[in-house]
């Protein structure tokens, strides 16, 4: 009896299609990724149940590091506002900044403000490669008689006249309360009663009031 012939199939598969898919996905992910700019300050933000995405335009960001030191930066695109902030501070505090020093602040995001007014000139006059590893003292806020943040926020409010300014506070978990209190005082003094705190999102704990609300409205699952 003749044996049934089993056709010998090749084990080679055509990989072209799979290769196409792989690289299509790869190019998608590369193009869709927005790289985080390297941050000079590492801040571990506290978590909250808030699900609102932090704004990224017209931002005045106040960063508070783990030692409670406070820094100020303005989003890179708002060069016009940055220029008027630094001009305002320069004239109000008689700092005598040169145009090059002002331009450093306006054009280069590496020069965020982290020094008292007295050191601002020498700080902005530094070359960029000198900035790394520099131990900045932060803007004084804790002392109620010398809260320089009040002046910075006032300058920022003036610069953002007409546009909506997003006041953001990005604080580190370990920062102590007095720094935050100093910030709140500075905001209040300038009638900036609305601000936002950058947090990392966590879901509402199961069984809590907010969780029940979310369940009822169905806008967010608990899982």
Partner 1 sequence: MDTSGGGGHKKGPGVKKAKKLSTRVDLTPMVDLGFLLITFFIFTTTMSQPTAMKLFLPKDTDKPDEQNKLKESAALTVMPAKNNQVYYYEGLDPTKIQSSNFKAIRDVILDKKRRTDAKDFMVIIKCTQDATYKNTVDILDEMKIDDIHRFALVDITPDEYKIVQLTEAANGIK
Phi, psi of 53 (to 5 degrees): -75, 135
The verdict on 42 binding partner 1 (CB under 8 A) reads: no
Cβ contacts of 61 within 8 Å, gap of 6 or more:
72, 73, 74, 75, 168, 169, 170
Binding range to partner 1, per CB under 8 A, among 88-96, 105-113, 125-133, 190-198 = 190-198
Question: Is there a contact between 217 and 181 (Cβ–Cβ < 8 Å)?
Answer: no
CA distance linking residue 159 with residue 26, whole number of Å: 42
Q: CA nearest 53: which of 190, 172, 199?
A: 199
Triad 188, 191, 192: Cα angle to 5°: 80
The verdict on 110 binding partner 1 (CB under 8 A) reads: no
Nearer residue to partner 1 within complex by CB, 120 or 198 = 198
Among 194, 218, 219, 221, binds partner 1 (CB under 8 A): 194
Instruction: Quote the least distance from Cβ 165 to partner 1, whole Å.
Output: 14
The verdict on 179 binding partner 1 (CB under 8 A) reads: yes
The verdict on 50 binding partner 1 (CB under 8 A) reads: yes
CA distance linking residue 9 with residue 105, whole number of Å: 69
Binding mask 3-22 for partner 1 (x = CB under 8 A): ------------xx-xx--x
The verdict on 223 binding partner 1 (CB under 8 A) reads: no
Residues contributing to the site for partner 1 (CB under 8 A)? 15-16, 18-19, 22-23, 25-26, 29-30, 33, 36, 45-55, 64, 168, 170-181, 184, 187-188, 191, 193-201, 204-205, 208-211, 213
């Amino acid at each position: 009896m003749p044996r049934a012939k089993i056709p010998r199939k090749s084990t080679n598969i055509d990989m072209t299609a799979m290769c196409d898919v792989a690289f299509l996905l790869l190019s998608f992910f590369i193009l869709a990724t927005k790289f985080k700019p390297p941050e000079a300050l590492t801040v571990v933000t506290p978590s909250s149940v808030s699900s609102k995405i932090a704004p990224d335009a017209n931002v005045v960001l106040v960063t508070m590091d783990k030692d409670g030191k406070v820094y100020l930066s303005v989003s890179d695109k708002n060069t016009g506002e940055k220029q008027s902030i630094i001009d305002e501070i320069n004239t109000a505090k008689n700092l005598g900044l040169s145009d090059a020093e002002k331009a450093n602040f306006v054009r280069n995001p590496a020069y965020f403000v982290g020094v008292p007014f007295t050191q601002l000139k020498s700080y902005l006059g530094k070359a960029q490669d000198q900035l790394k590893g520099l131990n900045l003292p932060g803007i004084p806020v804790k002392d109620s008689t010398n809260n320089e943040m009040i002046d910075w926020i006032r300058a920022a409010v003036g610069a953002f006249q007409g546009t909506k300014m997003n006041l953001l506070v990005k604080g580190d978990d370990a920062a102590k309360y007095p720094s935050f209190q100093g910030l709140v005082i500075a905001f209040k003094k300038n009638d900036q009663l609305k601000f936002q705190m950058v947090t990392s999102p966590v879901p509402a704990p199961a069984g809590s009031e907010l969780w029940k609300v979310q369940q009822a409205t169905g806008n967010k699952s608990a899982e």
